[in-house]
Amino acid sequence: MVWNLAPQTIALVGGTGNQGPPLAVRWALAGNRVLIGSRRLEKARRVAGGLEETLRRLGCEVEVGFGVNEDVVAEADTVVFTIPYRGLDATLTALEDRIKPGTLVISPIVPIEFKGREIRLIHVEDDSAAETIARRLPQARVIAALHTVSASLLADYARPVKGDVVVCGDDPEARRVGMALVEEIPNLRAVDGGGLENAHIIEEFTVLLIKIGRRKRRPDLGIQFTF
């Protein structure tokens, strides 16, 4: 399958939290149609309205779509799972029949648990959250990406989002489209991370990155390769 790169219709499942809204703004600025998904319609409506305001302030007069997760994913070319790992199983159960064949699914999910000051990697039976998604959504083309880009950096629209983003996925065409979507966010560089069997490495590494960021009091810490 060959995709048109842009514009895409991008649905953000759980697009109401930290990571979803700034990704929606960045991709809307690049000319894509974005849809905010939530378990609750009213919450999706409220967040989408706020993002339209943000986009207007940034000089971009566009509509931000919204709906419950089940509805927005059915409309999308690309679906991004901006939900915590603990919600993944229930979300997949709710959405597995709603995602169209051939949909590009992006997982930025880091299987992590915060318990007070403690940060812990969650053991995933499939090795990675991305592989769980791929197993449960055989009709989709699943890639893992954006784990190491902090929401606070993405949401600071005055600052460049510098850094490298490792993109893993078994379908080379899906990986190429995913990398292009990453690079629609100015200054981010997508790095081909190979197959989905490598996703656990970037998910686990991000837990370390978060711990280092905490120690250095830099929650926006990212990564950059020296090439």
Ligand X SMILES: NC(=O)c1ccc[n+]([C@@H]2O[C@H](COP(=O)([O-])OP(=O)(O)OC[C@H]3O[C@@H](n4cnc5c(N)ncnc54)[C@H](OP(=O)(O)O)[C@@H]3O)[C@@H](O)[C@H]2O)c1
Which residues of this chain interact with ligand X, rule CB under 6 A? 14, 16-20, 38-40, 43, 82-87, 90-91, 108-110, 112, 146-147, 149-151
Q: Which is nearer to ligand X, 58 or 90 (CB)?
A: 90
Residue 154, burial from CB neighbour count under 10 angstroms (0-12, 13-18, 19+): buried
What's the min distance (Å) between Cβ of 86 and ligand X? Answer: 5
Separation CA 175–CA 73 (nearest Å): 19
Minimum CB–partner distance for residue 193 and ligand X (Å): 15
Phi, psi of 188 (to 5 degrees): -75, 140
Q: How far is the CB of 132 from ligand X (least distance, A)?
A: 12
- CA–CA separation, 103 vs 152, rounded Å? 28
Cβ distance 111 to 45 under 8 Å? no
Closer residue to ligand X in complex, CB, 55/106: 106
Q: Which residue's CB is nearer to ligand X, number 9 or number 18? A: 18
Min CB(46)–ligand X separation in Å: 10
**φ, ψ dihedrals at 36, nearest 5°:** -90, 120
Which residue, 86 or 100, has its beta carbon nearer to ligand X? 86
Please report, for residues 68, 79, 153, the alpha-carbon distance to residue 75 in angstroms, rounded to integers and kept in the order given. Answer: 11, 9, 28
> What is the closest distance, in whole angstroms, from the C-beta atom of residue 91 to ligand X in the complex?
5
The DSSP H or E segment spanning 44 is: helix 41-57
- Distance in Å, CB of 148 to ligand X, minimum: 7
Cβ atoms 32, 8 nearer than 8 A: yes
- In 3D space, the residue among 128, 140, 132 whose CA is nearest the CA of residue 89 turns out to be 132
Q: Which residue lies nearer to ligand X by CB, 141 or 147?
A: 147
Return the number of the residue (7 or 71) whose C-beta is nearest ligand X.
71
